[in-house]
Amino acid sequence: MRILHWDEMFHPTFGYQINVLPKYQVKQGHEVIILTSEKIEKHPTFSKFGNNIDIANEDKKYTEKYGVRIIRLPIHKVISGRVIYKKGFIKKIKELSPDVLMCHTNDTLSSIRITQKYKSLGIPIVFDNHMLEMASKNPLNKLFRIYFKNFVTPIIIKNNLTVIRTQDDNYVNKHLGIPSHLTPFISFGSDTTLFHPDLEEKRILRTELNIDDDEFVVIYTGKLTESKGGKLLANAFLEKFGAENKVTLVVVSNSNGEYEKEVDEIFAKSKNRILRFPTQNYFDLPKFYKLADLSVFPKQCSLSFFDAQATGLPVIAEDNNVNIERLSHNNGFVYETDNIESFKEAILKVIRMSNKEYKIISRNSFRFVKKNYDYSDIASKYTSLLHQEVKKYKNDN
């Protein structure tokens, strides 16, 4: 098949689903194209990283390495995280004449326009949605949901369009009004060719960073914003976890706003060792997980959960509905949301584990991802669904 992925904010050095899924589909023998926007470094999702990446060069390297063609289209601007494309993107989709269009994030402005143009496009389309109810914080979200339910969802229902839920959450059903029979669940996952346990690399990396073998290393990767629990994390590591325990916190994150700078000020007062690193290229992230013993996510959920677990790390996260399910396999622990003592107790529980107990939970973490969330398997599920949609479209037309 010729598979066309539509994604408003593809960045070649990051590790979102759009970065991983296409390369596996090329391995499956398909022709894969990513159609996305120009000026991606100015998108608020990426603009704060300040790493001056040459996007054109990174696109070229991605294409050469994985065989995925990347086409960038002109835009007017980005408003509230939404890309406003210049006229012509619908025409470009038609010109590429794909067998199927995989449209990532069905509630962007461009995806809404693609939905409205479904009949005239003349190709089968599969959408997905990445949103969780707990992460939907836009002050205009109620107005947007009313609009979507009344003007977009009816088109989805009338044309029997599939919207894949990438999170085990009913956001698209409850807030966008899309019937459950049109919203199958196919999770995010981890690229286990990159993320996997490696004790020898762990030893080498610790030596490079002057981390002793008996130090317990906790890693956090992600934003240090209020919504992600930046101060909760920093305050949890203010005091030592017992005089007998040597604990190091490795934080991989940039500090951009005032809140993040306040988090850094708390880190500076910590009686534990804090190692800070800027946000990393996706392909450089595995080594940070490999040197650690535990991964923590103080607030909400994170795609990095799967990468941490694939590297054999137990995870500690707040007790929301998604995390409770993810960590119900003796692969980590949830703590009481916003309760710093509960958070610290969960960390200390892992620190105090015997070597035997730790090996069991570490092995469970790796196996949980390898069995259920390996992108080689997830890509097969996506491609199988795309095949079904192509077949259904031909039968209906």
This prediction has a pTM of 0.89
Q: Helical H runs in 230-354? A: 230-236, 258-268, 286-290, 304-310, 321-326, 340-351
Output the pLDDT for position 80. Answer: 73
pLDDT of residue 41: 75
Using CA atoms, how far apart are residues 25 and 379, in angstroms rounded to an integer? Answer: 7
The domains located in the chain, with CATH, are 2-189+374-396 (3.40.50.2000), 199-372 (3.40.50.2000)
- Round to the nearest angstrom and report the end-to-end CA distance of the chain: 18
* pLDDT at res. 137: 56
pLDDT at position 142, please? 87
Q: What radius of gyration do the chain's Cα atoms show?
A: 22
Give the pLDDT score at 54. Answer: 87
Put the strands of the sheet holding 2-6 in their side by side order: 69-73, 31-37, 2-6, 100-103, 125-129, 162-165
Rounded Cα distance, 131 and 171, in Å: 7
For residue range 309-353, list pLDDT tens digits in order: 999 999 999 999 899 999 999 999 999 999 999 999 999 999 999
Contacts of 231 (CB under 8 A, 6+ apart): 259, 262, 263, 266
Query: Are the beta carbons of 221 and 288 closer than 8 angstroms?
Result: yes
What pLDDT is stored for residue 114 in this prediction?
97
What are the residue ranges in the chain where pLDDT is below 50? none
